[in-house]
Copies of this chain bind each other. A is one copy, B any other.
Amino acid sequence: MLKYALLGFLNYGPMSGYDLKQLMDQSTANFWHAKLSQIYVTLKALEAEDMITSSAVTQESRPDRRVYSITAKGKADLSKWVNTPDLEIAQSKEPFLLKLFFSAQISKENLLSQLRIQRDLHQKILERNKTELAAVIAQTTEQAPHLKKDALLWEATRRSGEIIDEAIIRWLDETIEIINKEF
């Protein structure tokens, strides 16, 4: 899938692995991420498959860059992927829920502390979502009116994060109350 994230971004224009990492961290971080090392490996693989091409760009006072462009074959593959519906929900793994599931033997204080830590963490992510991330999307919409449909979808994915984090915070508040009374 990282493959399609890279093709998706390169479909907007040529850029380097380093650029791709930064874009991802700014836009899709809440639902898709990758390490630089893995991005470089995947770019090599995509080039070997003729999905992208690259050229070295010499810079003064900065390290050289390798800039990648999507090919017709890459565009076709990307298009096929976005057009094909996902017919199953991807099973996810939530380490905190797993830990909570097996936490019956820990102290009430530790349990409540761990729930409050989760609440704070989700609160911070939610705040960043509603400020920084919303601003990035709003800015693109203003500066590039031809990306109107794109911005609509980017905003939908941002909203998804907002709604889900709000739900998680409500659940944590509810759970803290229940543990307080009944554990």
Contact = CB atoms under 8 A, between A and B. Distances in A.
**A contacts with B: majority SS:** helix
A28 B160 contact: no
Given A91-B33, A171-B159, A98 B178 contact: no
Interface residues of A, number: 69
A122 B164 CA distance: 14
A156 to B, nearest CB: 5
Interface stretch (A14-22, A43-51, A59-67, A112-120): A112-120
A149 B104 contact: yes
Contacts of A143: none
Contact of A28 (B101, B117, B163): B101
Interface of A: 1, 4-5, 8, 11, 27-29, 31-33, 78-79, 81-83, 85-106, 110, 113-114, 117-118, 121-122, 125, 147, 149-150, 152-154, 156-157, 159-160, 163-164, 166-168, 170-171, 174-175, 178-179, 182-183
